[in-house]
Structure 1
Amino acid sequence: MNKKRIAIISVAALIAIYLVYSYFSPSSDGEMYVTTEVKKGNFVSEVITSGEAQSTSLKKIDGPKNLRKFRIREIKIQDLVPEGTIVKKGDYVGRLDPTEVNEQIIDARLNLEAAQSKYTQQQLDTTLTLKQERNAIKDLSFNMEQTKLELKQSTFEPPATIKKLEINLEKSERDLNEKIENYKIKKRQANAKMVEVGTEVSKIKKELNDLLDLLNSFTIYSDGNGMITYFKNWDGSKKKVGSSISPWDPTVASLPDLTKMESKTYANEVDIRKIKKGLPVKVGFDAFPDIEIEGIVTDVANVGENKRGSDIKVFQVMIKLNETNDNIRPGMTTSNKIITFEKKDVLSVPLEAIFSKDSITYVYKKSGFSVTKKQVKIGDSNNDSVIIIDGLKESDVVYLNKPEGYETVQIAQLN
């Protein structure tokens, strides 16, 4: 009895070894046959992209906005706190290069000294000229008084002498009146010149004060609380020490709102047709592999752009994060799993198990100790698997590569 049992076990073992060997034995060229079972469950199609976290709302920290008034086209950033620095309102952020403004301040001071000297000279000239005119008026007044006195004392003089004195008195009165009118005119002229040179002095003083105020504004302070991030130029490069700002783009840095974050990513021409607004997204972060945040597609670009360094067209996709996390910072690399569709309780097999010939889709199905070529009807697919609509059932075993010797076997078609 024991011998019989041992014999049965031995035969079964040999058969098992043979089956295992036949199942996994390599072909003549060394190929290993790999199989898998048809699985039933939830089928998810995802588009996986890499992106960058950024804030949807940020406060710009600007340099001086009146550079154009002083004919300054651009100015370099001389110093800037490290990106990621936490600041409070009023804290130091950076400093701009004051070289060009300092040159204008020196010129303005020289111009002010020249204008003040001209003002003083005009003031002295005016004082002297008007003093001379006032003395001339006094001299004419004295002469007229003297003539009046002589006329008064000439009662008994000949008529000719009296007439001459009357003529002299009339002439003195006319000269005095004319001199007084001239004095008034010269005084107005002098006042006008003083106003002119005084206005020039005031103008240069104001310009100098404005330049000094501008110089003070070259030291940048934060106007809010938050974390400093470097502002990006139109070409994607960040403004940093040595970069320039202009009157048209005076932003030096920014304070992002970390409670309002999004992921900016790009999809290729094949994947973009699957992506639309409202699709759910699972957003991961390379810096924190254990963090995954739910998101939603908020914008899909209609026009593609060339990927930097290649001719590949990509389309921008914006993903809003539905949650916040204190560890997430702008600029972090994100891994975005955009769920394009999800179906429940469906059959699926790996893409490698599907073959086709003459528009017929089929699989190599394991049937006991043999292999059959079975036509299947497939549905949607993702990057790894495809849905089986008809032709297979759950737990059926299919080959992931072609078994040798079955290429000419007829395909069992669907009913």
Structure 2
Amino acid sequence: MNKKKIAYAIGAVVLLILAYSFFNTTSEENAPITTNVVKGVFLDEVIISGEAQSTSSKKINGPINARRFNIYQIKIQDLVAEGTVVKKGGYIGKLDASEVNGKINDAMLNLESAQSRYTQKQLDTTLTLKEERNKIKDLLFNIEKDEIELSQSTYEPPATIKQLEINIEKTKRDLKEKKENYSIKKRKATAEMVQVATEVSKIKKRIEELKNLQKEFTIHSEEAGMVTYIKDWSGNKKKVGSTISPWEPAIASLPDLTQMESKTYSNEVDIRKIKKELPVVVGFDAFPEIELSGIVTNVANVGENKQGSDVKLFQVLIKLNETNENIRPGMTTSNKILTHKEEDVLMMPLEAVFAKDSISFAYVKSGYSIEKKQIELGTSNNEVVIIKNGLKENETVFLSKPEGLDDKSITLLK
């Protein structure tokens, strides 16, 4: 009997312990979460992602004189991989030269035709002038013959002598006229030859220029560096199959890796906080261990619509104060822009702030009870808010609303 009583007593104690443990655990699980008011340094940061780029880069251009030959759209046929390190004079890429090749072929045909016209004109001129020279020789021969006949006609009748003199005079006039005509025809033939020769020379020069242009369709680097692709007007990177024009002749660039910046875009809410000269900590997704200091150098005054969105975004440029050999243009950056800083201030999480009738208050633990205290708030960030008045350091505040305190009055500030 005594053993049974002892067993019952032990069982009752165990049940009481289990019940206490269950209800205590349930109570702890349902208990509101609390935290303490702390004193420290308040930081308000705008965190936005961006893209690394060089502030100074040398563009690698295709043919800039193509417009002179009515070539306006040139397709990129080959291009080295982005990030390739090249030496001075190293191969960069090749452009589709089919259009310039066609113009060279057309010019060669025009040259053959012009040279043929030049040869024909040369032969015609030679024959024409030869005929004129022969006519002049005939006239000279006739004059010489008449003068001999005149010298032998001393005893001829005066009429005969007069007729010979008239013939000689007439032939001399004809000779003078022939010589003048010959001179005119010779000058005309010379001008025509010069004209045809000039046409041949112009076509030869055009062919030479086209061949020089053709050489420019194979692109080489003017400096040593790392090749990076550039973007066209629509924001897409130029690559094999893209086109360039005389107005946008660049196919790639060689950035100066010692002068880097982060280009990012801020929304309409955060842009109000961002000013020039604000300090920035720039991180890199590719290298989480690298963080470089920077400074805001430019804040756009006018927003722009990003492709596929109606949201207005404002461009922000951040200059890096340091360099790192691992950083490359195009890498994704994480930019922490410090917009506000206060030291030695009281802070608590935003979740601990409640409001009623425009009065901000907090649920504060006071011994075994809970008090609703009015608080005066200062600047806040995405996590905490500065407490100007109403709380003290290390006071415990509730992050969620405790039950059963709806009717409790708020202790107002004095």
The normalised TM-score by structure 2 is 0.93
* Alignment coverage as a number of residue pairs: 397
**Aligned: 1:43 with 2:37:** no
Q: Is the 8 A contact 1:23 1:33 kept in 2?
A: no
Structure 2 alignment gaps of length 5 or more? 1-16
2:141 maps to a residue whose letter is F
1:24 maps to a residue whose letter is E
Q: Is the 8 A contact 1:148 1:169 kept in 2?
A: yes
**Aligned: 1:252 with 2:256:** no
**Alignment partners' CA distance in 2, 1:60 and 1:364:** 62
Q: For residue 361 of structure 1, what is the aligned residue in structure 2?
A: 360
**Alignment partners' CA distance in 2, 1:181 and 1:267:** 87
**Alignment partners' CA distance in 1, 2:392 and 2:308:** 47
**Alignment partners' CA distance in 2, 1:42 and 1:23:** 35
In structure 2, the CA distance between the partners of 1:322 and 1:23, relative to structure 1 (3 Å rule), is: farther
Alignment of 1:157-236 (within 5 A): 157-236=156-235
Q: Give CA deviations for 1:351-379 in whole Å, capped at 9, x if unaligned.
A: 00000011110011111222111111110
2:282 maps to a residue whose letter is V
Q: Is the 8 A contact 1:281 1:296 kept in 2?
A: yes
Q: For residue 6 of structure 2, what is the aligned residue in structure 1?
A: none
Alignment of 1:275-314 (within 5 A): 275-314=274-313
**Aligned: 1:24 with 2:23:** no
In structure 2, the CA distance between the partners of 1:249 and 1:109, relative to structure 1 (3 Å rule), is: same
Q: For residue 10 of structure 1, what is the aligned residue in structure 2?
A: none
**Aligned: 1:113 with 2:117:** no
**Alignment partners' CA distance in 2, 1:55 and 1:42:** 34
Q: For residue 85 of structure 2, what is the aligned residue in structure 1?
A: 86
**Aligned: 1:59 with 2:63:** no
Q: Give CA deviations for 1:152-190 in whole Å, capped at 9, x if unaligned.
A: 000111111111111111111111111111111110010
**Alignment partners' CA distance in 2, 1:158 and 1:246:** 92
Q: For residue 8 of structure 1, what is the aligned residue in structure 2?
A: none
Q: CA deviation at 1:25?
A: 4.0
Q: For residue 29 of structure 1, what is the aligned residue in structure 2?
A: none
Q: For residue 315 of structure 1, what is the aligned residue in structure 2?
A: 314
In structure 2, the CA distance between the partners of 1:83 and 1:49, relative to structure 1 (3 Å rule), is: same
Q: Give CA deviations for 1:219-271 in whole Å, capped at 9, x if unaligned.
A: 11001111101111122111111111111111111010100000001111111
**Aligned: 1:401 with 2:400:** yes
In structure 2, the CA distance between the partners of 1:18 and 1:410, relative to structure 1 (3 Å rule), is: farther
**Alignment partners' CA distance in 1, 2:348 and 2:26:** 23
Structure 1 alignment gaps of length 5 or more? 1-12, 27-31
**Alignment partners' CA distance in 2, 1:282 and 1:36:** 29
Q: CA deviation at 1:21?
A: 5.2
Alpha-carbon RMSD: 1.7
Q: Is the 8 A contact 1:98 1:218 kept in 2?
A: yes
In structure 2, the CA distance between the partners of 1:43 and 1:246, relative to structure 1 (3 Å rule), is: same
**Alignment partners' CA distance in 2, 1:207 and 1:20:** 97
Q: What SS is found at the alignment partner of 2:190?
A: helix
Q: For residue 6 of structure 1, what is the aligned residue in structure 2?
A: none
2:218 maps to a residue whose letter is T
Q: Give CA deviations for 1:312-361 in whole Å, capped at 9, x if unaligned.
A: 11111110000010000000000000000111111111100000011110
**Alignment partners' CA distance in 2, 1:407 and 1:313:** 42
Q: CA deviation at 1:18?
A: 11
Identity between Structure 1 and Structure 2 (%): 65
Q: CA deviation at 1:23?
A: 6.5
Q: What SS is found at the alignment partner of 1:224?
A: coil
**Alignment partners' CA distance in 1, 2:272 and 2:356:** 27
Q: For residue 145 of structure 2, what is the aligned residue in structure 1?
A: 146
**Alignment partners' CA distance in 1, 2:25 and 2:149:** 158
**Alignment partners' CA distance in 2, 1:45 and 1:262:** 22
Q: What SS is found at the alignment partner of 2:32?
A: coil
**Alignment partners' CA distance in 2, 1:354 and 1:160:** 145
Q: CA deviation at 1:402?
A: 0.4
2:224 maps to a residue whose letter is N
Q: Is the 8 A contact 1:37 1:398 kept in 2?
A: yes
| Runs of 4+ off more than 6 Å | 16-20
Q: For residue 13 of structure 2, what is the aligned residue in structure 1?
A: none
Q: Give CA deviations for 1:284-304 in whole Å, capped at 9, x if unaligned.
A: 000000000000011111111
Q: For residue 341 of structure 1, what is the aligned residue in structure 2?
A: 340
**Alignment partners' CA distance in 2, 1:126 and 1:195:** 12
